[in-house]
A and B are shown apart, each in its own frame.
Chain A
């Protein structure tokens, strides 16, 4: 009987009920949306350093090393010498190694000079290797491989000629290496990581284009035939045993050849998240504030409706309804509204995810979640439901008192 009373009564107040449901739905979209976005950004960053045990660079701040080497978000420091790279490659604990040299850009996209190890060993997501969507990995100093975003944004195909520039991405001071044009040899499949925004050339090519520029090649005037540049910016390492990571990190910090820093990407990522936690918490607080406003709307609307429901509640009381029933009617109504708000919010968020997913992947390389409700989110949704139900307690007590005071005296 109680559910029937609640639903039938709500049906007579459809407009205000719909407004409350909308307020709760939107606040749930905010709360859950921020949580999911945060989680997804973390997952995306983590997926970028999947399987990478150490990043070795010239001595510098660990966060900076992580940001420039993997995410191309910061300026690279000075390079490390090639013989250091050879030392690392020959180290008994090292399973694979990827050298990278940075500094060039093409139309704002970073150019990464590396070797075949990048295609062979780089992993993203859950240990997924890179794949070429079309064409081949570069085979010579005049070939370039494009990340999927670069190819899509610039409309390049295999065979398109490309001119690279030195400097920070698009300012006036860039030097175009137009004496050394490249040809697109292949395009990588999308990964949803910064890999999609890079252009990949050989270390040899990097040395050649810089031979007349800032990083003078040792033998001036002679085109490079060697695959050994003088410096690279960083080396990504995969070890044979993960237990050796800390030992090797310590060992490299005491390396004799030159001052080095070796960072563990996962650890640095955690450090980075601790730094951004304040902003995330501020966002969360804003979302919670929105939800509290929705709760106040709920309370005030239910309270306002009580005036018109005096007779209804007096009838219930006279028919024998006690405190439990009156509370049941009012709190049950709040619960119904919150439940409907949560369901609407989840569906809205789900729909938004489906609609925005292609766009977010293209614009931000961000893979949006595809689920309706994750197990881990249940406590949050349960808390919202509980809060919504509790919001009915105040009006319920008032209703109970009102119905007593009004008693049998009908007022029109």
Chain B
């Protein structure tokens, strides 16, 4: 079976620092597997995710996503590959505030014909169906994103990441600004929809309470050898 994510011997130095900030020997996610990495704020979890998504250039190491040598791709190919195979959810500032919820979701198929094909029906109706599955009706979907509540915004962000069933969803503290009720609601939806679309989920959080929604839960300091050496 081809893993959804397989990263090997990953190193990241901040410029001018002698010791690596991140050093991960191996991290593998099976297709559809949900893995939580938890740890305190500022320990490098977000940096790890920006390396996985290819938004920050990789200094050393190999990343395979859905069997593709992601880290070997050119910048342009990496951008296209991310659009095709990855969904990304942030902690905040997830949406383009001036676009409607629907248009925010439709960003994904706009950048990836592949994921557009993987959702049945016309682009807008597919986006609407997905929003409905996440508990947002059409009235809400047509509102500009800045008029939505924070919880609604996170669900729209989840819908955009889930659209077209990408192999890997990467989430950076998506629940940190939510109260525990909304947090569990969003996690349940996210877990269900990942299950349904067969997407693997790699999420980082400082909140261990979300662990029950994952197959595996790892402490960042356990996988980051750099942190161990520093200690």
Contacts and interface: CB of A to CB of B under 8 A. Distances in A.
B99 A318 contact: no
A410 B91 contact: yes
A1 B55 contact: no
B97 A12 contact: yes
Given A322-B76, A322-B79, A409 B107 contact: no
Contacts of B93: 311-312, 314-315, 410, 412
A79 interface: no
Given A4-B103, A408-B88, A315 B96 contact: yes
A42 interface: no
Interface string A293-317: 0000000000000000001101111
Contacts of A316: 96, 107
Interface string A369-412: 00000000000000000000000000000000001110111101
Contacts of A154: none
Nearest to A325: B111
B187 interface: no
B46 A320 contact: no
A319 interface: yes
A1 B107 contact: yes
B158 interface: no
A325 B86 CA distance: 18
Given A315-B96, A322-B76, A404 B56 contact: yes
B97 A4 contact: no
Given A12-B97, A407-B56, A1 B106 contact: yes
B91 A319 contact: no
- Please classify how large the interface on chain B is, using the bins under 10, 10 to 19, 20 to 34, 35 or more: 35 or more
A321 B93 CA distance: 16
Nearest to A8: B98
Contacts of B94: 315
Contacts of A355: none
Contacts of B186: none
Given A409-B50, A410-B92, A323 B76 contact: yes
Contacts of A317: 55, 79
A11 B98 contact: yes
A319 B160 contact: yes
A316 B94 CA distance: 10
Interface string A1-40: 1001100110110000000000000000000000000000
A320 B92 contact: no
A315 B56 CA distance: 14
Contacts of A319: 83, 88, 107-108, 111, 160
Nearest to B98: A8
A320 B80 contact: yes
A344 B112 CA distance: 37
Nearest to A9: B98
Interface string B162-204: 0000000000100000000000000000000000000000000
B98 A407 contact: no
Contacts of A5: 96, 99
Contacts of A315: 90, 93-96
A318 B53 contact: yes
8 contacts: A1-B107, A311-B93, A312-B93, A316-B107, A323-B75, A323-B79, A325-B111, A409-B47
Interface of A: 1, 4-5, 8-9, 11-12, 311-312, 314-323, 325, 403-405, 407-410, 412
